[in-house]
Structure 1
Amino acid sequence: MTLLALVLAGCRSHPNAAGIAAANDTSAKHYPVRGKVVSTDAARGEVTLDSAAIPGFMEAMTMPYRLADRSILSELHPGDSITATLLVSDKGDFLDQIVITAQAKPDYKPSFFYHPLKPGDDVPDFKLLNQSAKTIHLGEFKGKVLLMTFIYTRCPLADFCPRMSRNFAQLDKMLAADPALYKKTHLLSVSFDPDYDTPKVLRSYGEAYTGKYTKENFAHWDFAAPNKKDLAPLLRFFDVGATPEKDRTITHSLSTIVIGPDGKVYKWYPTNDWTPDQIFNDVKQLLGGNKKA
């Protein structure tokens, strides 16, 4: 996995300074981006990406992006797949937090490849330590629909971990309103920051998001983290990029998964543009309820 910083072509004459300003702008909007490198231009310091549609911003498009650091050009090759975050603010539009998920050039082979989640994939029986300091494992939820997302409790970006937790809180309430569905589902928020996100921290975080605080028993929604040994394989399988930064934040991607009662992947949402209604409809379809409208 390689982290890079890209700047949209033509935004500013001093992309490094403007990029830093935009990254520090709390009012900036964040959009997830996925794409493939088409070509690079060393003279202009640009890379052309064939990107998927950016929900709420623009349709799928092939266009050039200017690099904040031209020396990074040697790291990019036609065919490389990337994920990124598009920052949109009055400082300019920038691609930040870029993760190269697969390199195309044979002499630039990464140490590992992320797992491309597909419907029907068997989910490994990963073990985690939850908010009650109890070891749980994914296999114990077979027979139920497991709704799983990734977070870390110190995440400062409202559209990332906090948004995932707000969405899950809404889902929890929607499911609770239907006792039949509630009984056959379980929510799981997994932290990729086990050093800081201890059971005590996860319990406090979870109590705040469920809104029940000290009355929360976590019977329907667990907050848990793997141990250090299991962290890397778990993130690879669920296609989560997570890199600790010097300021104690973590540069990361997103991953939300609907796992069927058979323990297989049913749906995968790799960005932040899914809604609680979408996943609620996934649950109803899996459990033979009402079809999606």
Structure 2
Amino acid sequence: MIQNRLAVFGGGLFAFFLAAGALLLYLFGTDTYTVDGRVAGIQNEGRTLVVEHEKIPGYMPPMIMPLPVADSSMTAPLEKGDAVQFRLAVGDSASIIALRTLPDTAVARNPARTTTPVKSAADGGTQMLQQGDRVPASLTLTNQAGESLQIGDYRGQTLVLTFIYTRCPLPTYCPLMSKQFAALQPQLRERYGEEAQLLSISFDPAYDTPQVLREYASKYTDRLDTWTFATGDSSQVERATGLFGVHAQKTGSEEITHNLTTALIGPEGHGLWRGNDWTPEDVRQAVAQVAEAS
């Protein structure tokens, strides 16, 4: 019997924008928001600012969110806990295009502390998969047609999966993952037919019912023979997020702040990408390696 396995590739956490690119987005109609918050962390050599921000009217509630910055020099003088105000440009992507520090009293402490964690490996739940581990075949989900499926159903095939939720407001998060899959799907289908499958798993099962997933899927593909959209009951969703190291926090009734994980699972393993800076070509090449090794 062929066992699907997981192996790990390195990958950056978040894509970032060059200052000129952010300026062009701003000039050509990108929505911009002025936001107050506090620095929760600095990543990617200053190219990503983790901000615990206040409500952005008309866009999102208070959240703790990693955001790319147009110029890494913006974050150089900052320290964790600093009060800041920034301009967030949102179009096909999102980026901080301007930033300044504020007096400490200008921003409330813990402006985004209204979150509820979605259980994962970090919460003492399911143990996260390590390189070479077998993916449990019994992981059970429900697809966009309301039909039950198990990860074991993909045994012998090559499966690329990612995690989303349909109400995600950030263009560089779930919408980008779905756009990447939409670009990847015809490439894989042309070369491998139904032997290469895509799977988008929602960690918002209360809202992302099969009907909602069908409507969401129609925005990205008209071929559900090689791309499945699925969710499950809360225990199976928690199991799935735990296995792949997906961490999510519910903020209010609609928003979920989360990280990004995309995995490639095949008979001999291969592939885990963190963040959003992978490309369809990265995955296509990894699938080719798996196919040649099988």
TM bin, normalised by shorter chain, reads: 0.5 to 0.7
Count matched residues: 219
**CA deviation after TM superposition for structure 1 residue 23, in Å:** 9.7
Distance in structure 2 (CA, Å) of the matches to 1:56 and 1:282: 30
Distance in structure 2 (CA, Å) of the matches to 1:182 and 1:207: 20
Distance in structure 2 (CA, Å) of the matches to 1:240 and 1:276: 21
Q: Is the 1:202–1:224 Cα contact (8 Å) retained in structure 2?
A: yes
TM-score (norm 2): 0.63
Counterpart for residue 96 of structure 2: 88
Counterpart for residue 72 of structure 1: none
Which of residues 252, 275, 290 is equivalent to 1:286?
290
Which of residues 177, 201, 208 is equivalent to 1:164?
177
**CA deviation after TM superposition for structure 1 residue 182, in Å:** 2.6
Distance in structure 1 (CA, Å) of the matches to 2:289 and 2:70: 26
What are the Cα deviations for residues 145-175 of structure 1, in whole angstroms up to 9, with x where unaligned?
A: 1000000011010000000000001000111
Q: Is the 1:240–1:253 Cα contact (8 Å) retained in structure 2?
A: yes
Q: Which amino acid aligns with 1:223?
A: F
Between the aligned residues of both structures, percent identity stands at 31
Q: Does 1:148 align with 2:167?
A: no
Cα distance change on mapping 1:232 and 1:68 into 2, 3 Å: farther
Q: Is the 2:54–2:112 Cα contact (8 Å) retained in structure 1?
A: no
Q: Does 1:124 align with 2:136?
A: yes
Question: Highest relative contact order (Cα 8 Å, sep 6+), 1 or 2?
Answer: 2
Q: Does 1:197 align with 2:208?
A: yes
Q: Does 1:209 align with 2:220?
A: yes
TM-score (norm 1): 0.63
Counterpart for residue 269 of structure 1: 273
**CA deviation after TM superposition for structure 1 residue 67, in Å:** 1.2
Q: Does 1:246 align with 2:252?
A: yes
Which of residues 63, 68, 81 is equivalent to 1:67?
81
Q: Does 1:184 align with 2:195?
A: yes
Query: Residue 67 of structure 1 aligns to a residue in which SS?
Result: coil
Q: Is the 2:141–2:233 Cα contact (8 Å) retained in structure 1?
A: yes
Q: Does 1:255 align with 2:255?
A: no
Distance in structure 1 (CA, Å) of the matches to 2:70 and 2:266: 29
Q: Is the 2:189–2:226 Cα contact (8 Å) retained in structure 1?
A: no
**CA deviation after TM superposition for structure 1 residue 207, in Å:** 1.6
Query: Residue 258 of structure 1 aligns to a residue in which SS?
Result: strand
**CA deviation after TM superposition for structure 1 residue 57, in Å:** 6.8
Distance in structure 2 (CA, Å) of the matches to 1:131 and 1:228: 16
Unpaired runs of at least 5, structure 1: 10-16, 34-53, 70-85, 102-109
Cα distance change on mapping 1:285 and 1:23 into 2, 3 Å: farther
Q: Which amino acid aligns with 1:152?
A: Y
Q: Does 1:137 align with 2:137?
A: no
Cα distance change on mapping 1:176 and 1:245 into 2, 3 Å: same
Q: Is the 1:8–1:64 Cα contact (8 Å) retained in structure 2?
A: no
Q: Is the 2:179–2:220 Cα contact (8 Å) retained in structure 1?
A: yes
Q: Is the 1:22–1:91 Cα contact (8 Å) retained in structure 2?
A: no
**CA deviation after TM superposition for structure 1 residue 144, in Å:** 0.7
Counterpart for residue 26 of structure 2: none
**CA deviation after TM superposition for structure 1 residue 132, in Å:** 0.7
Cα distance change on mapping 1:224 and 1:90 into 2, 3 Å: same
Distance in structure 2 (CA, Å) of the matches to 1:252 and 1:88: 18
Backbone CA RMSD of aligned residues: 3.9
Unpaired runs of at least 5, structure 2: 1-36, 43-50, 84-93, 102-110
